[in-house]
Amino acid sequence: MSSPIERLSELVIGTVESISSDEVRVMLDLDAPQSTALNTGTPTSFPRLNSYVLIPNEAGATVAYVTWIGIERSPFPKRSGLKDFGLIDLPFPLRKMALTPIGTLTVRRDRRAGTSVYDLSRGVVAFPSVGDQILIPTPEQIAAIVGAKDRDRRVRIGSSPLAANTSIMVDPDKIFGRHVAVLGNTGSGKSCSVAGLIRWSLDAAQTALTNPAQGPNARFIILDPNGEYAKAFADRADNVRLFRVPPVDDQKGERALRLPAWLWNGHEWTAVSFARPGAQRPLLLQALRDLKSGNLSGVPAEALVRRHIYSYRLLVDALLARGPAAFAGDAGPRRQCGDLLDNMAADCDAMSARLDGDPAATLTDIAATIRDVANNRRGNNGWFNSFTVAEIESVQAALQSFLDQVEDALAVAQITEDAPIPFDVQMLPDHLERIAATEGGGLAGFISTLGMRIRGMMADPRLGQVVGSEPQISFDTWLDDLIGSNASANGQVAIIDLSLVPSEIIHIVVAVLGRLTFEALQRYRRLHPDGKPLPTTLVLEEAHSFIRRGGNDEGAPENPAQLCRETFEKIAREGRKFGLGLMLSSQRPSELSPTILAQCNTFLLHRIVNDLDQALVARLVPDNVAGLLKELPSLPSRQAVLLGWATPIPLLVEMDELAEEHRPQSSDPDFWDVWTGKSPRVIDWPALVQDWTGDPPA
């Protein structure tokens, strides 16, 4: 019995000579093609390293790729009867090949069409045996091997140079759904591949829309540290949202990149401020909670005031807990205590003016009580004499009377330091100082450093415009801008040009963008009636700068780089559930967080020359394809090896050509053209300095 594949005897090119678990040795027939095979119908180069051959078996055929080709000298192998008798057996060069089996091609008969249908699956079902025939695949078989016929593979990304330039198609659900890493040296074509994958996917979706009146409901968010993608999508400006550090050029459709500091959560604040776990962190988080709860719109004013009074009572509790040293000991603490009482009295009066009725009257009484206590002990030049425990307790009781009177409508627990509620970030340093003044205990130094950092950030023209609260922007507008509107009405691609984001906040910016995207999608799925996620792709270029392999930083205070890595590790682990796929691009895979790489299910490997990086990618793939990776150091710039979840067997892809105007802006400087005056470069230092320092035009 012979399978349909075996019947194609004109495709036989050799026989199996020996087999081991990882290698099959083949002797080529004397009449097997020498450089170009014509017997398949289309000219194919053969034999060629890494090209595919078939070894037929009962189920169909084992697919193998060529890992070695050579010549061995043997006695002339064929004798055609007596007529050759008497010849001397001179050594004769015989061509041999080594193969590595990688998959199985099964064949079905399509009765209606009367044709054979091939399916490729991972793994080798039946190992060949000595004497088995080796076939060159036909174009249909090659198409099945590279997956061109698979119905789910809807996006063409390139062609296979090893398989008669058959189209290589990918399934977007597989490529984007389970994280993809594009790795390779600088200039090997990563950015072009990333831009191409997005462009070709959107083009393919455009042709298959259920409602052609609407564009694709796709979402790509590109974090672009080199500022190279704006050019690649310039032709579809209507469907692209481009964010840049202000000042921006409205004419070109640029939008200001905004990441107001009130969007940051407690972790992010802790990392930016390097707050240590002991006293600093709780203090900072308390201050954030206070400020965030003071800015809830739609909440009764009484409830907001209650929050303030509540935090005052906590401060007074803390004073009493520290005992007389905090208010009756040295001059310093006495003065701090007196100042606190003065501030509280003034605040109570101010807040009373915002309320009506009983609560307002109570506040006025409280202010009076506190002022009496302070005035009682007031000395000269702003100094205070010792307070008694009873006096401080009377202040505590006064504050408590308001808490008893006004209902806690805010459900204190709901306002966490993580809530994205707008507040005036400029107030944070003052507020921290106020709390710290009573807590004492060496916090002053930390508070002043933190205060300086925050004030410095707001004052820096570049930083301030990114992280500051002005002009005001609501959280839903912000999400609409970043993740996109309903049905992607405002475009499918958001490009976030990070090239001018100051280095001191770049990690926090990337971490916050990543986290907010993740959390927004998490909540989207929770609120969706059927729990369906919103498919979104987050592209991280130059990933090694943001998700570095972790050093031994346990015990050290949290820092922004670590936070950034942890955020993306979480996205890598859990993003899939919420429809968030990562597309990473990096030239230093060996420096990437192993946790994140391990979560990437598809790899597109461009030229990789560095040993360490090669060793790393070799570890990511099963042993039997290691041979294919030996080509990595010599891949030309548009070629790449695609492997992983998106393809049953690793494929060498010649990526489709992107037109010059669709390529990301090349970072290669053109020295020669500038030197020779072919490409002019006019210098205007004053304009540059002005842009740099943010001075308004003179």
CA distances to 324, 453, 570, 573, 675 from 561, rounded to whole Å, are: 43, 17, 14, 18, 39
Find which of ligand ADP, Mg ion, none residue 648 binds, CB within 5 to 8 Å per kind: none
Fill in the per-residue mask, 169 to 208: x = in contact with ligand ADP (CB under 6 A), - = not in contact.
---------------x-xxxxxxx---x------------
The answer to whether residue 655 forms part of the interface with ligand ADP (CB under 6 A) is yes
**Apex CA 631: angle with CA 54 and CA 180, to 5°?**
90
Stretch that binds ligand ADP, among 263-271, 363-371, 467-475, 656-664 (CB under 6 A): 656-664
Residue 106, burial from CB neighbour count under 10 angstroms (0-12, 13-18, 19+):
middle
The token pair at 493 is 């691609």
In the complex, minimum distance from the CB of residue 190 to Mg ion, in angstroms, rounded to a whole number: 5
Fill in the per-residue mask, 128 to 167: x = in contact with ligand ADP (CB under 6 A), - = not in contact.
----------------------------------------
Q: What residues have CB less than 8 Å from 67, skipping those under 6 apart?
A: 23, 49, 50, 98, 99, 100, 627
What is the rounded distance in angstroms from the CA atom of residue 447 to the CA atom of residue 283? Answer: 9
The answer to whether residue 586 forms part of the interface with Mg ion (CB under 5 A) is no
CB atoms within 10 A of CB 158: 24
The answer to whether residue 657 forms part of the interface with ligand ADP (CB under 6 A) is yes
Q: Which of 289, 431, 507, 663 binds ligand ADP (CB under 6 A)?
A: 663
Find which of Mg ion, ligand ADP, none residue 188 binds, CB within 5 to 8 Å per kind: ligand ADP
In the complex, minimum distance from the CB of residue 139 to ligand ADP, in angstroms, rounded to a whole number: 24
In the complex, minimum distance from the CB of residue 538 to Mg ion, in angstroms, rounded to a whole number: 17
In the complex, minimum distance from the CB of residue 112 to ligand ADP, in angstroms, rounded to a whole number: 39
> Amino acid letter at 446?
F
Q: What is the helix (H) or strand (E) element at residue 595, kind and residue range?
A: helix 594-599
The answer to whether residue 638 forms part of the interface with ligand ADP (CB under 6 A) is yes
Measured from the CB atom, the residue of 140 and 591 that comes closer to ligand ADP is: 591
What is the rounded distance in angstroms from the CA atom of residue 239 to the CA atom of residue 112? Answer: 44
Fill in the per-residue mask, 318 to 347: x = in contact with ligand ADP (CB under 6 A), - = not in contact.
------------------------------
In the complex, minimum distance from the CB of residue 186 to Mg ion, in angstroms, rounded to a whole number: 7
Stretch that binds Mg ion, among 189-197, 232-240, 478-486, 645-653 (CB under 5 A): 189-197
Stretch that binds Mg ion, among 59-67, 183-191, 201-209, 254-262 (CB under 5 A): 183-191
41: left (phi over 0), alpha (psi -120 to 50) or beta: left
Select from 671, 666, 672, 670 the least CA-distant residue to 188: 666
Q: Which of residues 74-133 bind ligand ADP (CB under 6 A)?
A: none
SS3 content of the chain, % helix, strand, coil (to 5): 45, 20, 35
Select from 585, 613, 615 the least CA-distant residue to 600: 585
- Would strands 115-122 and 91-110 be described as parallel, antiparallel, or unpaired? antiparallel
The answer to whether residue 545 forms part of the interface with Mg ion (CB under 5 A) is no
Q: Which of 67, 191, 492, 593 binds Mg ion (CB under 5 A)?
A: 191
Contact between residue 508 and residue 268 where contact means Cβ atoms under 8 Å apart: yes
In this chain, which residue has its C-beta nearest to Mg ion? Answer: 191
Measured from the CB atom, the residue of 188 and 647 that comes closer to ligand ADP is: 188
Q: What is the helix (H) or strand (E) element at residue 506, kind and residue range?
A: helix 503-527
The answer to whether residue 666 forms part of the interface with ligand ADP (CB under 6 A) is yes
In the complex, minimum distance from the CB of residue 129 to ligand ADP, in angstroms, rounded to a whole number: 42
What is the rounded distance in angstroms from the CA atom of residue 374 to the CA atom of residue 346? Answer: 12
Measured from the CB atom, the residue of 476 and 661 that comes closer to ligand ADP is: 661
In the complex, minimum distance from the CB of residue 637 to ligand ADP, in angstroms, rounded to a whole number: 4
Stretch that binds Mg ion, among 186-194, 388-396, 433-441, 627-635 (CB under 5 A): 186-194
Length of the chain equals 698
From edge to edge, which strands make up the β-sheet containing 602-605?
Answer: 166-170, 155-160, 651-655, 639-644, 602-605, 180-183, 580-586, 536-540, 220-224, 493-497, 240-244, 254-256
Q: Binders of ligand ADP: how many residues, by CB under 6 A?
A: 17
The answer to whether residue 188 forms part of the interface with Mg ion (CB under 5 A) is no
What is the rounded distance in angstroms from the CA atom of residue 113 to the CA atom of residue 447? Answer: 78
In the complex, minimum distance from the CB of residue 672 to Mg ion, in angstroms, rounded to a whole number: 22
In the complex, minimum distance from the CB of residue 530 to ligand ADP, in angstroms, rounded to a whole number: 39
The answer to whether residue 104 forms part of the interface with Mg ion (CB under 5 A) is no
In the complex, minimum distance from the CB of residue 103 to ligand ADP, in angstroms, rounded to a whole number: 27
- Would strands 24-28 and 91-110 be described as parallel, antiparallel, or unpaired? antiparallel
Find which of Mg ion, ligand ADP, none residue 637 binds, CB within 5 to 8 Å per kind: ligand ADP
In the complex, minimum distance from the CB of residue 675 to Mg ion, in angstroms, rounded to a whole number: 25
Residue 532, burial from CB neighbour count under 10 angstroms (0-12, 13-18, 19+):
exposed
**Binding region for Mg ion (CB under 5 A):** 191
**Binding region for ligand ADP (CB under 6 A):** 184, 186-192, 196, 637-638, 655, 657-658, 663-664, 666
